[in-house]
Amino acid sequence: MQEVVHARGHEHVAATHDTTFEVTTDDWLTPAGDCIVGVEADRAPADFDDAFVDACRDSTASITLTLDVDGATQTVRAHGHPDLTFESDRSAVVRTSTYVDDRTVAVGAGAAASDLDRGLVTALADGVDCTLTLTVE
């Protein structure tokens, strides 16, 4: 099962956070938002299909996140968690830890914002469009 979120970069994308990365429906970003890689997302976790959410709530679920930026892609593998709520109507956060809140869409990720390819980050800082595809197995 898949969910797809379309967003765009922003001049303040720095992608330096060591434990998370995030896309948000907000249309603005301050330099303090060092985990945010995309703004103006067309969907938030609250919009995801119930079957997808249920599949992600399995602690053995494997979640693959693919960030496509202007034709270049980076894939991050993560896991599901029984406490995922997918209730946020604002942002989707991928975490390297097991911390869960209403914005969390995956835990135990193999990469955070600081691990993203710097070419992708530069393109995002130039404001290009990006797509985050979440696939659960």
pLDDT digits (tens, 9 = 90+) for 15-48: 999 999 999 999 999 999 999 999 999 999 999 9
Sheet holding 104-106, edge to edge: 36-38, 20-24, 91-95, 104-106
Token pair for 7: 């967003």
pLDDT digits (tens, 9 = 90+) for 45-82: 999 999 999 999 999 999 999 999 999 999 999 999 99
Give the rounded percent of residues in the chain with a pLDDT score beyond 70. Answer: 100
What's the mean pLDDT in 88-116? Answer: 98
Predicted pLDDT of residue 86 = 98
Predicted pLDDT of residue 109 = 98
**Residue 58 domain boundaries:** 2-136
Instruction: List all residues 6 or more positions away from 10 whose beta carbon is below 8 Å from its beta carbon.
Output: 28, 29, 36, 38, 39, 124, 125, 127
CATH code of the domain containing 99: 2.60.120.630
Predicted pLDDT of residue 17 = 98
Structural domain tally of the chain?
Answer: 1
Mean pLDDT, the chain, as a whole number? 97
Residue 134 pLDDT grade (very low, low, confident, very high; cuts 50, 70, 90): very high
Q: Angle at Cα 91 formed by Cα 89 and Cα 97, nearest 5°? A: 125
Neighbours of 137 (CB within 10 A): 11
Instruction: List all residues 6 or more positions away from 62 whose beta carbon is below 8 Å from its beta carbon.
Output: 77, 78, 79, 80, 136, 137
Predicted pLDDT of residue 119 = 96
